[in-house]
């Protein structure tokens, strides 16, 4: 089987409400997503999506995905998409780094592999069944009262796990957010305080040694070095996210006891192939993981939910669904959706999400 064509669509995905990270440090109201279809000489086609969470969140931006795939396309034509590791090696030779460019290509290849094997992705990725995965809310930063109101609204939709955004220069405000939210959580609910790297190490140590809450704290500072420094000086379990890109980053975090868990996001690390390697490492060392994508429609969310569903319960905290924040849905009714706080991956072969090209508009580019 050979790749014969790559078709790209640019999708403008508006958020239902503007999103604020880290005390308003980052604000955006739409996502620039790239949808990809890979066609083969045997009639099978696979779908993938790559979507940064705005262009201020990671060193990744929407137009960069399309430019990168244009660079890779000549080397991808003619490859067997079922050989996912080989496809990744070719991409890494042709375009070192730039993992976020490669995720849509990798997901589309996994979709074709699953269809060729007549197996859903959760099974190809090692899972025993289409396990429902707990989904978590994402609570934009604000006053403690505003944030508690958002958590209560999420609880009404079935969420029992929450990611609350904190972090800024006002230490007193962050202490009030953490203590207020932790104390007001509905019974049985859990929260992670996601700092999105906004604190200096001294701020992180001061805030976390002032609060009595012992909930998870995510990405307190910019770098792995800084986060490891903080982890050695606080009692809260630490989850790492933005600073974790390569397998080497994960090995280093483990060696330095910098965290008790990580976020595994296909678009950040380069696709499902590399996310699976990190997931397997995380299981082997006993980390707890959120497996979800950086952003995108239900298509990107569903690829990540397949991997989450194939991950042991003991190593899985929850998964966020980006499409819940969007006012546009390019794959209506399809894929993993929140049903009372859980999302279940499709049981059909491959990814199980098939966009209707008529709903995607004119292609951005076709390579053949």
Rule CB under 5 A: which residues touch Mg ion? 194, 218, 241
Q: Are 47 and 345 in contact (CB under 8 A)?
A: no
Helices (H), the chain: 62-76, 84-94, 99-117, 121-124, 144-156, 171-184, 201-208, 224-231, 247-255, 266-269, 272-285, 298-309
Quick one: 78 exposed, middle or buried, by C-beta within 10 A (0-12, 13-18, 19+)? exposed
* Residue closer to Mg ion, measured from CB, 195 or 310: 195
Task: Give the span between the Cα atoms of 286 and 105, in whole angstroms.
Answer: 30
Task: Give the span between the Cα atoms of 222 and 59, in whole angstroms.
Answer: 13
* Residue closer to Mg ion, measured from CB, 195 or 343: 195
Four-point Cα dihedral 119, 125, 130, 136, nearest 10:
-140
3-state SS assignment for residue 152: helix
Catalytic-role residue among 102, 165, 263, 274: 165
CB of 138 to Mg ion, least distance (A): 9
The residue length of the chain stands at: 368
CB of 227 to Mg ion, least distance (A): 12
CB of 360 to Mg ion, least distance (A): 29
Q: Is 165 a residue of the active site?
A: yes
Residues 6+ away with beta carbon under 8 Å from 172:
none
The residue number with the shortest CB distance to Mg ion is: 241
Look up residue 231 and give its two tokens. 């982890």
Catalytic-role residue among 102, 263, 265, 274: 265
> Which run of H or of E encompasses 289?
strand 288-291
* Residue closer to Mg ion, measured from CB, 32 or 194: 194
* Residue closer to Mg ion, measured from CB, 58 or 310: 58
* Residue closer to Mg ion, measured from CB, 174 or 218: 218
Task: Give the span between the Cα atoms of 107 and 117, in whole angstroms.
Answer: 15
CB of 286 to Mg ion, least distance (A): 21
CB of 363 to Mg ion, least distance (A): 32
Active site residues: 165, 265
């Amino acid at each position: 089987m050979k790749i014969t064509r790559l078709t790209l669509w640019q999708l403008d995905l508006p958020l239902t409400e503007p999103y604020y990270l880290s005390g308003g440090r980052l604000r955006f109201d739409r996502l620039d997503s790239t949808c990809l279809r890979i066609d083969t000489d045997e009639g099978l086609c696979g779908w993938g999506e790559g979507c940064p969470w705005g262009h201020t969140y990671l060193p990744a931006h929407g137009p960069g995905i399309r430019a990168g795939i244009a660079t890779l396309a000549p080397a991808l034509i003619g490859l067997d998409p079922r050989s996912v590791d080989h496809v990744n090696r070719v991409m890494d030779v042709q375009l070192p780094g730039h993992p976020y460019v490669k995720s849509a290509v990798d997901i589309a290849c996994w979709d074709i592999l699953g269809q060729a094997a007549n197996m859903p992705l959760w099974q190809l990725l090692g899972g025993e069944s289409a396990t429902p995965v707990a989904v978590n809310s994402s609570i934009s930063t604000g006053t403690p009262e505003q944030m508690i109101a958002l958590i209560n609204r999420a609880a009404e939709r079935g969420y029992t796990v929450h990611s609350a955004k904190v972090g800024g220069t006002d230490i007193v405000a962050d202490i009030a957010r953490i203590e207020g939210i932790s104390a007001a959580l509905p019974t049985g609910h859990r929260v992670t305080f996601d700092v999105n790297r906004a604190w200096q190490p001294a701020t992180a140590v001061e805030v976390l040694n002032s609060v009595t809450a012992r909930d998870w704290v995510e990405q307190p500072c910019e770098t792995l070095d800084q986060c490891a420094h903080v982890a050695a000086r606080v009692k809260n379990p630490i989850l790492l996210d933005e600073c974790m890109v390569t397998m080497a980053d994960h090995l280093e975090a483990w060696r330095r006891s910098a965290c008790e868990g990580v976020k595994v996001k296909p678009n950040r690390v380069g696709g499902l192939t590399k996310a699976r390697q990190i997931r397997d490492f995380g299981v082997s060392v006993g980390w707890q993981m959120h497996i979800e994508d950086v952003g995108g429609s239900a298509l990107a969310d569903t690829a990540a939910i397949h991997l989450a569903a194939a991950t042991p319960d003991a190593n899985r905290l929850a998964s966020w669904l980006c499409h819940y924040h969007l006012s546009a849905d390019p794959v209506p009714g399809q894929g993993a959706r929140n049903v009372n706080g859980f999302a279940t991956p499709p049981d059909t072969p491959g990814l199980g999400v098939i966009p209707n090209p008529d709903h995607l508009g004119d292609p951005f580019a076709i390579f053949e």
